Structure 1
């Protein structure tokens, strides 16, 4: 499908609003290669005076032109005009393409999955160049790229041998404007105010924000030098109303036999966030003659995110504090009884205060040169650099009712009502948790508490990526092959992750303490969960006054830091096929990668802690052939075929060299046969990463049919099959523990004369047997005016994707039984009306249940099972027409997440799927104006 409501716009399409001269959309961003057929121009509307096709229909036409022209199987999104932003983010627009689904993070689309694969299996390019990521792995977060500054987005589902760094599932290429190809001066200004409906539960966060952008494109009089500069600012509020059902238990042996499952841990949190992003892009394009064409691209963004969570959590666990239950409603689900309503006594709610600040700095630069050294011979040289740096600080502290020495706990009781698909209700608490004279800081957890009164964690990530590419292209323009291209690319990637971790302890022997009014905010309502309000504390400001800090020294802390380098040499060759109605390309890449990983081997079982620096790696070579063909049956009908061998490099955290050992001193206890003198035992074991991992590898075939009806109408049906030659999952490997000192208290348990072998088992990611993924994708766009004149201006786009997979049982078991990122069904429907300056659109997207990837507790990665996710967005706008005093001025009202669709996760309780998290983000309203001249 071509996304009508794209946040990106087709590169270099003039943002004309003149309705008196005929203008066709052009897409110079998609640079047609020698011998590659140009897509037929879309048909022009005409009646009386010629008209300009603008807005949604022009966006569709330009996107369809990209899809039709490309030899690879691609999807594309294009904008309606410079800087116009129908979607909140570029990820939202990409998610409307067939076979592509977005994962919402804090209410916004941040990462995407292509054809059922997690983001680890795809790559992101900017103007054809690989991008560094500030995430924990390789996935690029799209909200670091303001869509107002992009020219177009092309998603490659099959590889092109001339493009380096393509992914296994697909490749997303973000493209900026080429000013000479744009062909005229243009200035675009956009500004919008934002309302976060339902936000502001935390009073120190406003529910109002704004976003604005300015772009300027121009060239010299001779058309040999062009320049473009764009700036975009984002100040976006957000909120989450959150509940979590921790776990269920029927307390066998404690409660009477046959007791139902009770919810034994829960939380209700009110979250507010503020995203501040400044992005700048610039391009200088120089073409003094047909022999020289140079383009310099620069991009920089600073993205600040601040999130505060305030709320309550508590154990309602029968093993703790003498908790009692009085169920009033019990429901049987799949043979299991669950108490879904009732009364609970003896709980001590823990008030949660969390503050997270994160700043990302992204920089990308690229210089591309095309030298025509002979009439049909070109030398292509490209240099690029990308860096992404992330600094984050997460603070968490606890409070509760009452004040006293460490672990003074005040008990309460409440009524509960559990929902199958929405917020639970926890009501009837007798204490006032918003009373500043009674609520104090301090650990209230049962069983002796959390072991601290809070924590502070600061992940630091930096990735740099530098590349040099040199190619030669010979245009033949005769016979079956129209051009040949060959070249070499060298890329160096370096990613470093460290985490500073501190435990927080209240001063004065952890004495609980009331909070000074200068650190207080207004009480925070948890009414969405029936809890009432809790005391608002600015824990970041209060930190230094109330807490002592202690450096965390456990194995988990050291295991979070790693350093990885990759040197990748790619030899590439491609032939362009242009023979009558048959077009396409055939090519090959030979990829030689050298990787090294530096980390620690961490033995915390001895004193002092044993830390051994290690540096390991591997070198491997892949040969990746690819074929893309399409055959035009006539002017409107086409068939496609593509086949390729593809790969995706392993996750960064899987490549870490870290190793955390354990020693089992009781290895001889109960051993059969008994451990006699001379018996060799293997008490060592460990978990860790694997620096010798090789990529995921696969073979793929894609077959498709496409119909192009002219203007903004088309239909496509594609089927694909992918053989996964291998998959990466945890396996039992052999490791040598000779460098480690056995813990004295453990080795003393081994009988004298028994030989302790240094060889043990390492549980780590490894390449293993794979499986297959297959699917079918249908998409289309249609202008209803083709059916009847009174329907002129109405149209719709839609896509539907079905995907299935099968992995070897051992691989499936090790990844938790679900392929990450996989949704069996993904669909999108958009309806629009556009005529005489009026624009109305509504867009709905849906994906079935999937396993996500989010940064969760304590800034660690989590992989929740996410229930089906849907979102409806709508907008209405008007652009003043020619002759009006306000000509070229557009106004727009946009509503995102119209239905306030929940984001929900679930888990399994004795074979019954049970609701875990419920998050609601509210509607986001934007009202603004744009002006182009």
Structure 2
């Protein structure tokens, strides 16, 4: 008997040290801001960090930031990678690159990202990705960014939408510079994970800025293009773990610890997947800024910013399906750790990804010093993020398999007793074996994706009146704004699940097998596009279905705030007190051909049968809120500052949570039957915040700070679940697989067998329908600690910070009822060492984030603790030319996601280190 067992390696854990350059660039008042811009020129690590320390000290609220070390020189190539160095800020990674941020335990959906104070749109083409309000940082190059401000405490004059923080990206303008600037850089990106394609790819950037006509006109233009190839090796599961997944009605539960699991609940997983993927990404950024100051008191700025992101990839998968487990025993928690089944098959998959994202923003800003004491500004912009223009499938999926059943048996088994699983198969009863091309047939194809267009139109009017008298009141800030936020989504889906049993001729398909990269014996290699083209040529494809979803939010806001500078009991204090009022009208829609029944094709798959006519659902909602804030900073001594910040902030719900339509998520014939429905009447999250801070500035460039934060979150949105029948246009949706009719399962999507389709007399399906609801309130609190120390004139420095986050509403893995569990909560830390002297700079940085809850649908997904080491070194050859080298994830860390317990694997991904080598020139 031939038995093959494969064990996947575990990536090594390693310490990582990340480098920080944080320069706070927003002081408490506009008057202070002018003074700082005139007096401080940020250059180099020490200059940037010292500037950060000084402005942190002068601010009334809690604001952190990162500034460019020099024109066109940001601390990291990726903005998110730089932001993670700030105390309390963590990042989410995609393809071993930072893309979105978590602040104080609140994930990307709880943070608002703006550019120059303007709300920015976001979009995605992947069917598996939700449309997020949070801007994706990997879509913008860092060369044209002057700084990034992180507002952790709320202020009336700062745009609402972030409970964790409001993050503002500042871009360069020609009037920022006193002389003509010309700079450029070129680098080679060396990605060690690349298996196919070039492992060294180019990145180029350039910036030109000048003023003329006695400083009345200014123009700035910048451009960058970055190409990157990378690979991902993965072991994981396709649909995650479920309680009581079909099969094995009476598993062995003797090992279950009833003190943890008194109901003897068990969990199973449908697949074990082994993936090898290669991706290509090209990012282009461009910006044009024109400034005109016809008189000393008036400045007009017209700017256009564009980015283009093109992503392509191929993934091949070896898959073992345990959708009908015959045998298996549970461990102490209830996880079925040794599922097996006989007379089964091996599955061979191919994925093809391909889409573009186009971002465009055009804006006009007018700033007028109406009097010596009054400054008025008007800002208007229209910004659009458009993913997958043309509504083509962004993912194409093709499946091959062995013939199913006793005629061609393959026995499969898995072992989930460790962090990473092992799998085994026995194909000795199959002549030629499971990898013989004669024993491989077609299975299915799918085409899916989204076209998303997200447009933000915003007009903002602001004013600052500065008091010329020597009194406690220093300034009055006021303004109003109108924001229209539109999202339109086209969902694309097409499939055929009945390509087996000789229905498809595979003789011309280019299919081969290579050794697996994560230890498995073989991985299939073939093209999903070629497979689908063959199916089309043989008349086996079906028309794609499309559905439309959308939402429009119109928000009107007005604010007023006062700045004071006075004394209390002889101690200097600075105060900002303000209030913001907002009204929002919401309208959402879904247009789709509703499902009227199912077509039972194979023992597992049922395809949806759609109505011939589309149906529109449309709902509206509205809400309003007051957002007050009070910030107080007190100089206890010349070196010791205490601060208190009290505010109310909001974060609006996820876009896809508000569509009125019903989405049938899982409809396998064996269940579980899961569906989701949106709720357009969701209220925003509302958080009442308290920040307390104490900071000791004991030497030049050196300080110690600690802070406590508390956030009482109301209207918290979680998933409510209801088991019920779903009624379509022709009545309840029924399950044809429960009625044994001759010839079933069978047929195809294009040519169904009537007996295998839903009949009114079939049993109605009981669906697990989840709906987002404003269920409860929650409390999050934590501590932030930060040390920044310069070792005199030696050139050496160190930064260490640690953030602790806590909440009573954490996911209890031993409970079957978790109505409210906060996602993203985790402790985080940075340790940074740097050296800078005589034109030489070197940094090494360790970044760590503890495990956190990534998702909490029917079953949770956790991300394991992760740490990463990054390095950076550069040398100024002369006043104009600088050479540099950068290394990211140099200890080759892997990402691990799992279910309730670590052996319930969801994903284990290895990426490899990445290095950049380049030269930068400035004139």
Map 1:371-450 → 2, pairs under 5 A: 371-391=368-388, 393-400=394-401, 410-412=408-410, 420-421=418-419, 424=422, 438=438, 440=440, 442-443=442-443
Q: Distance in 2 between matches of 1:762 and 1:262?
A: 20
**SS at 2:70's partner residue?**
coil
Map 1:741-780 → 2, pairs under 5 A: 742-743=731-732, 764-780=771-787
1:455 shift after superposition: 0.3
Residue in 2 that maps onto 1:244: 236
Residue 59 of structure 1: which of 48, 58, 64 is its match?
A: 48
Residue in 1 that maps onto 2:202: 210
* 2:286 paired with 1:280: yes
CA contact (8 A) 1:305 1:359 kept: yes
Q: Per chain length, whose mean CA-contact separation is higher, i.e. which structure has more relative contact order (CA < 8 Å, sep 6+)? A: 2
Would the alpha carbon gap of residues 66 and 282 (structure 1) be closer, same or farther in structure 2, given more than 3 Å must change? farther
* 2:848 paired with 1:846: yes
Residue 101 of structure 2: which of 109, 112, 127 is its match?
A: 112
* 2:315 paired with 1:301: no
Residue in 1 that maps onto 2:86: 97
Q: Distance in 2 between matches of 1:593 and 1:161?
A: 17
Q: Can you list the C-alpha shifts for 1:505-556, whole angstroms capped at 9, x where unaligned? A: 6779853433536x56x7543142232343x212224422334322466xxx
Residue 529 of structure 1: which of 519, 522, 532 is its match?
A: 519
**SS at 1:864's partner residue?**
strand
Would the alpha carbon gap of residues 252 and 813 (structure 1) be closer, same or farther in structure 2, given more than 3 Å must change? closer
1:254 shift after superposition: 6.8
Map 1:741-820 → 2, pairs under 5 A: 742-743=731-732, 764-784=771-791, 786=792, 792-807=794-809, 818-820=821-823
Q: Can you list the C-alpha shifts for 1:124-176, whole angstroms capped at 9, x where unaligned? A: 00001100111413121111111122110000001221122341221110011
Residue 876 of structure 2: which of 871, 879, 894 is its match?
A: 879
1:198 shift after superposition: 3.4
RMSD of Structure 2 on Structure 1 (CA)? 4.1
Residue in 2 that maps onto 1:78: 67
Q: Can you list the C-alpha shifts for 1:558-616, whole angstroms capped at 9, x where unaligned? A: 5xx41100110001111122225322311111101111111258753478467542221
Residue 621 of structure 1: which of 600, 619, 624 is its match?
A: 624
CA contact (8 A) 1:98 1:801 kept: yes
1:632 shift after superposition: 2.1
1:110 shift after superposition: 1.1
Q: Distance in 2 between matches of 1:733 and 1:588?
A: 40
CA contact (8 A) 1:36 1:583 kept: no
**SS at 1:549's partner residue?**
coil
Would the alpha carbon gap of residues 313 and 132 (structure 1) be closer, same or farther in structure 2, given more than 3 Å must change? same
* 2:824 paired with 1:821: yes
Would the alpha carbon gap of residues 490 and 424 (structure 1) be closer, same or farther in structure 2, given more than 3 Å must change? same
Residue in 2 that maps onto 1:592: 583
The runs of 5 or more residues in structure 2 that have no matched partner are: 1-16, 125-130, 257-266, 598-609, 666-673, 736-766
**SS at 1:513's partner residue?**
coil
CA contact (8 A) 2:725 2:733 kept: no
Would the alpha carbon gap of residues 775 and 645 (structure 1) be closer, same or farther in structure 2, given more than 3 Å must change? same
Would the alpha carbon gap of residues 661 and 211 (structure 1) be closer, same or farther in structure 2, given more than 3 Å must change? closer
Residue in 2 that maps onto 1:363: 360
Would the alpha carbon gap of residues 880 and 732 (structure 1) be closer, same or farther in structure 2, given more than 3 Å must change? closer
The runs of 5 or more residues in structure 1 that have no matched partner are: 11-26, 44-51, 444-452, 663-684, 747-759, 855-859, 882-886
CA contact (8 A) 1:865 1:907 kept: yes
Q: Distance in 2 between matches of 1:900 and 1:423?
A: 21
Residue 645 of structure 2: which of 642, 649, 669 is its match?
A: 642
TM-score by length of 2: 0.80
CA contact (8 A) 1:4 1:60 kept: no
Would the alpha carbon gap of residues 877 and 417 (structure 1) be closer, same or farther in structure 2, given more than 3 Å must change? farther
Residue in 2 that maps onto 1:290: 296
1:355 shift after superposition: 0.7
Q: Distance in 1 between matches of 2:624 and 2:723?
A: 24
**SS at 1:529's partner residue?**
coil
1:35 shift after superposition: 6.2
Q: Distance in 1 between matches of 2:700 and 2:363?
A: 34
* 2:873 paired with 1:867: no
Q: Distance in 2 between matches of 1:433 and 1:875?
A: 51
Residue in 1 that maps onto 2:219: 227
* 2:914 paired with 1:927: no
1:710 shift after superposition: 5.4
Per mean C-alpha deviation after superposition, the further-off stretch among 430-439 and 625-634 is 430-439
1:704 shift after superposition: 0.4
CA contact (8 A) 1:4 1:59 kept: no
1:639 shift after superposition: 1.1
Residue in 2 that maps onto 1:165: 160
1:735 shift after superposition: 13
Would the alpha carbon gap of residues 761 and 897 (structure 1) be closer, same or farther in structure 2, given more than 3 Å must change? closer
Per mean C-alpha deviation after superposition, the further-off stretch among 723-732 and 242-251 is 242-251
Would the alpha carbon gap of residues 423 and 254 (structure 1) be closer, same or farther in structure 2, given more than 3 Å must change? closer
CA contact (8 A) 2:580 2:628 kept: yes
1:413 shift after superposition: 6.1
Map 1:12-161 → 2, pairs under 5 A: 32-34=29-31, 54-135=43-124, 136-161=131-156
TM-score by length of 1: 0.79
Residue in 2 that maps onto 1:461: 452
1:208 shift after superposition: 2.7
Q: Distance in 2 between matches of 1:417 and 1:913?
A: 10
Per mean C-alpha deviation after superposition, the further-off stretch among 769-778 and 32-41 is 32-41
CA contact (8 A) 1:729 1:815 kept: no
CA contact (8 A) 1:277 1:302 kept: yes
Per mean C-alpha deviation after superposition, the further-off stretch among 730-739 and 188-197 is 730-739
Map 1:668-687 → 2, pairs under 5 A: none
Q: Distance in 1 between matches of 2:407 and 2:844?
A: 52
**SS at 1:143's partner residue?**
helix
CA contact (8 A) 2:373 2:468 kept: no
Count of aligned positions: 822
